[in-house]
Amino acid sequence: MANFCDTCLLRLHIRQVTGEGEPGEELLKDSISITINKLMLNGKIPEFDISEYDLTFKENELFVSIEVLNCSTRPKETCSFSFAGTEKGAYIYKSTGNGEWQITDDYTLYLKLFLRY
């Protein structure tokens, strides 16, 4: 993840996976967001700490994703935000909130999840 903006707001999504393998219904009831400041590829990775939520999932598969809500910077400065994966694989995304899910064979993001059983 690289953030060359002063501030970006990111939201966590956890969704069901449909029979076609696409993201389905949202399972989170709360809007869980974090604010990150200027961040380079080799910087500290932002974390969503959801330990305060009592989340229990019964699904065998989950689709975990990150939505960029907005980014801002000082006037007359360039602002860009990007996700950078390291392994080839299916990359599922929406270009806009109302757009269709798209799947490409590109560099994917890997998320580390700590689960409690």
Q: What is the pLDDT of residue 40?
A: 54
The answer to whether the beta carbons of residues 26 and 13 sit under 8 Å apart is yes
For 49-86, write each residue's pLDDT tens digit: 888 888 888 888 888 888 888 888 888 877 777 766 77
Residue 115 lies in a domain: no
Residue 113 lies in a domain: no
Residue 29 lies in a domain: yes
Residue 85 lies in a domain: yes
Q: Is the dihedral of CA 65, 6, 69, 105 positive or negative?
A: negative
Residue 117 lies in a domain: no
Q: What is the pLDDT of residue 3?
A: 65
Per the structure, the complete domain to which residue 68 belongs is given by: 2-108
How many domains, the chain? 1
User: Model-level pTM greater than 0.85?
Assistant: no
Residue 43 lies in a domain: yes
Residue 109 vs residue 102, higher pLDDT: 102
For 14-29, write each residue's pLDDT tens digit: 999 998 888 999 998 8
Residue 36 per-residue DSSP state: E
H or E stretch covering 72? strand 62-72
